[in-house]
């Protein structure tokens, strides 16, 4: 059996996308490649709901997207507010410190969301040049209410730029860059987009681009949007060599997703999340998050289940899940159900989890768990 990679990224890559990746490498300035790049950029705008945004596709992981978001809109000494629902929110705090940005953070217990009221009070107490929101924090599986947080920021502090980390969300969760009035959004290729790791996709608003143009000192060369904008507007131009084959793969995957339909793709994520959670609940695996995202589940282990044993037994059966991060390490595990993953694959994964539970001496009602999966 093919190994099932059910971690929250990288996610399984379909044969169709792999065969796009395998095509002959072309010159990065070739007309044919320029067309593929331009097409992929158009689809990136659709993905983010960013008709008015300026799109970028750049070689690098999601963390490059995080760094580009900050280096292009914040000067040293400016104020950043990080709304953190876990490890990846906290990464913005690290980045802020590394870039000499004055960084404040709002955070909560693992699984909870920072209340809107707290965000409002903080925005009223001090001027922030930018706010970051992690749409889905992959450490806790928490979905942030980006739409309402953005609305609040527009009301209370209209000059504040809004940055959204969509790495574990984009494609799997609706995002509306234009309608929500966002300034920077980005994702990585290896999560809900079902492409191998290696690309970051971004969109910047006109307002964010103006901010970059006003900055006299930059702290990035490769990540400077002003160097990339001419290339994205006309991919025949050169700044730094794009990851040609990865762009083939991305374009192929975006075609698959958009042909499937974005709405249908979101719904698939919701439906699969419900099935997995229904089945796991019958085994007393509870979710960490009070507002769980449809792209992954972070399940607390029931009493007496050892993390390392559970995950290694599962791996032997061909199902790879991830350990939890930070304070949840050892107490929970993370299971991705995003991207190209199918219901049949997740059904198999649940069966294997049932077998592992039995081997570990946990009483399970197999019929109930599988019926719940099928009926959810
Ligand atoms: C995975 C992830 C990142 C980091 O992406 P890399 O590709 O590992 O650099 C950032 N933010 C979120 C929400 C993620 O899930």
pLDDT for 157 equals 98
Average pLDDT over residues 141-164: 98
Please tell me whether residues 336 and 219 are part of one structural domain: no
Average pLDDT over residues 258-271: 98
Measured in Å, residue 49 CA sits from the centre of ligand 1 at 20
Output helix, strand, coil percentages for the chain, rounded to the nearest 5. 45, 15, 40
Please tell me whether residues 310 and 252 are part of one structural domain: no
Among 295, 293, 297, which residue's Cα sits nearest to residue 277?
A: 297
Mean pLDDT, the chain, rounded, equals 97
Average pLDDT over residues 31-50: 98
- For 261, counting Cβ atoms within 10 Å of its Cβ (0-12 exposed, 13-18 middle, 19+ buried), the class is exposed
Please tell me whether residues 268 and 368 are part of one structural domain: yes
Contact 239, 228 (CB under 8 A): yes
pLDDT at 94 over 90: yes
Measured in Å, residue 223 CA sits from the centre of ligand 1 at 17
- For 152, counting Cβ atoms within 10 Å of its Cβ (0-12 exposed, 13-18 middle, 19+ buried), the class is middle
Average pLDDT over residues 277-284: 96
Domain harbouring 286, CATH code: 3.90.1150.10
Measured in Å, residue 62 CA sits from the centre of ligand 1 at 5
Average pLDDT over residues 182-197: 98
Whole-structure pTM value: 0.98
pLDDT at 58 over 80: yes
Please tell me whether residues 253 and 266 are part of one structural domain: no
pLDDT at 359 over 80: yes
Q: Which of 241, 259, 277 is the last residue of a domain?
A: 259
User: Both tokens of residue 282?
Assistant: 């019958």
pLDDT at 268 over 90: yes
Cα 66 from Cα 166, distance rounded (Å)? 10
Q: Which of 197, 226, 259 is the last residue of a domain?
A: 259
> Which of 89, 164, 188 has the most ligand 1 atoms within 8 A of CB, as the residue to mutate?
188
Nearest atom in ligand 1 to 135's CA: 13
pLDDT at 1 over 80: no
Please tell me whether residues 192 and 293 are part of one structural domain: no
Q: Could you report the per-residue pLDDT of 198-210, keeping only the tens digit for each?
A: 999 999 999 999 9
Please tell me whether residues 99 and 143 are part of one structural domain: yes
Domain harbouring 115, CATH code: 3.40.640.10
198 lines ligand 1 (CB under 6 A): no
pLDDT for 363 equals 87
Q: Could you report the per-residue pLDDT of 4-34, keeping only the tens digit for each?
A: 999 999 999 999 999 999 999 999 999 999 9
Radius of gyration of the chain measured on its C-alpha atoms: 21
Residue whose Cα lies nearest atom 12 of ligand 1: it is: 167
167 lines ligand 1 (CB under 6 A): yes
Measured in Å, residue 203 CA sits from the centre of ligand 1 at 16
Cα 352 from Cα 46, distance rounded (Å)? 37
Q: Beta strand pairing status for 79-84 and 4-5?
A: unpaired
Nearest atom in ligand 1 to 166's CA: 13
Among 58, 66, 25, which residue's Cα sits nearest to residue 41?
A: 58
Please tell me whether residues 370 and 351 are part of one structural domain: yes
Please tell me whether residues 204 and 351 are part of one structural domain: no
pLDDT at 72 over 80: yes
Percent of the chain beyond pLDDT 70? 100
Please tell me whether residues 230 and 275 are part of one structural domain: no
Nearest atom in ligand 1 to 190's CA: 7
Percent of the chain beyond pLDDT 90? 97
Please tell me whether residues 142 and 210 are part of one structural domain: yes
Q: Could you report the per-residue pLDDT of 307-349, keeping only the tens digit for each?
A: 999 999 999 999 999 999 999 999 999 999 999 999 999 999 9
Domain count, the chain: 2
- ω into 10 cis (within 30 of 0): yes
Please tell me whether residues 77 and 122 are part of one structural domain: yes
Average pLDDT over residues 98-117: 97
Could you tell me which residues come within 8 angstroms of residue 208 by beta carbon, excluding any fewer than 6 positions away? 72, 73, 161, 183, 184
Chain centroid to Cα 93, Å, comes to 18
Please tell me whether residues 295 and 234 are part of one structural domain: no
Which residue intervals of the chain are DSSP H helices? 15-21, 31-48, 62-71, 87-98, 116-125, 146-156, 177-180, 206-214, 225-233, 244-260, 262-282, 307-316, 343-359, 366-375
pLDDT for 2 equals 85
Cα 139 from Cα 133, distance rounded (Å)? 14
Measured in Å, residue 208 CA sits from the centre of ligand 1 at 22
From residue 364, alpha-carbon distances to 152, 218, 358, 370 in Å are 46, 57, 7, 11
Residue 266 domain boundaries: 4-9+262-375
Average pLDDT over residues 37-62: 98
Q: Which of 259, 286, 309 is the last residue of a domain?
A: 259
């Amino acid at each position: 059996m093919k190994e099932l990679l059910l971690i929250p990224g990288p996610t399984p890559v379909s044969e169709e996308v792999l065969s796009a990746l395998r095509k002959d490498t072309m010159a990065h300035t070739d007309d044919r490649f320029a067309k593929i790049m331009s097409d992929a950029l158009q689809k990136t705008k659709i993905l983010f709901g960013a008709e008015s945004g300026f799109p970028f596709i750049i070689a690098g992981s999601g963390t490059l997207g995080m760094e580009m978001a900050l280096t292009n809109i914040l000067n040293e000494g400016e104020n950043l507010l990080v709304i953190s629902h876990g490890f990846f929110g906290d990464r913005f705090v690290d980045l802020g410190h590394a870039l000499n940005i004055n960084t404040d953070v709002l955070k909560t217990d693992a699984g909870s969301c920072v209340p809107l009221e707290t965000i409002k009070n903080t925005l009223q107490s001090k001027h922030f040049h930018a706010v970051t929101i992690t749409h889905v924090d992959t450490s806790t599986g928490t979905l942030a209410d980006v739409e309402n947080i953005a609305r609040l920021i527009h009301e209370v502090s209209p000059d504040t730029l809004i940055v959204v980390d969509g790495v574990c969300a984009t494609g799997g969760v609706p995002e509306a860059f234009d309608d929500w009035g966002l300034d920077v959004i980005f994702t990585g290729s290896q999560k809900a987009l079902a492409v191998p790791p290696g690309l970051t996709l971004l969109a910047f608003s006109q307002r964010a681009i103006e901010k970059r143009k006003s900055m006299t000192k930059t702290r990035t060369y490769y990540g400077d949007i002003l160097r990339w904008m001419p290339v994205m507007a006309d991919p025949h131009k050169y700044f730094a060599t794009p990851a040609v084959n990865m762009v083939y793969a991305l374009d192929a995957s975006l075609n698959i997703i958009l042909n499937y339909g974005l709405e249908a793709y979101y719904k698939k994520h919701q439906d699969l999340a419900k099935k997995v959670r229904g089945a796991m609940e019958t085994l007393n695996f509870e979710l960490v998050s009070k507002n769980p995202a449809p792209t992954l589940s972070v399940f607390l282990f029931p009493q007496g289940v050892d993390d390392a044993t559970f995950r290694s037994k599962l791996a032997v059966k061909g199902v790879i899940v991830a350990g939890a991060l930070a304070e949840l390490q050892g107490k929970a595990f993370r299971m991705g159900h995003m991207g190209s993953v199918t219901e049949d694959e997740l059904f198999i994964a649940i069966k294997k989890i049932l077998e592992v539970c039995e081997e570990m001496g946990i009483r399970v009602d197999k019929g109930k768990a599988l019926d719940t999966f099928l009926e959810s």
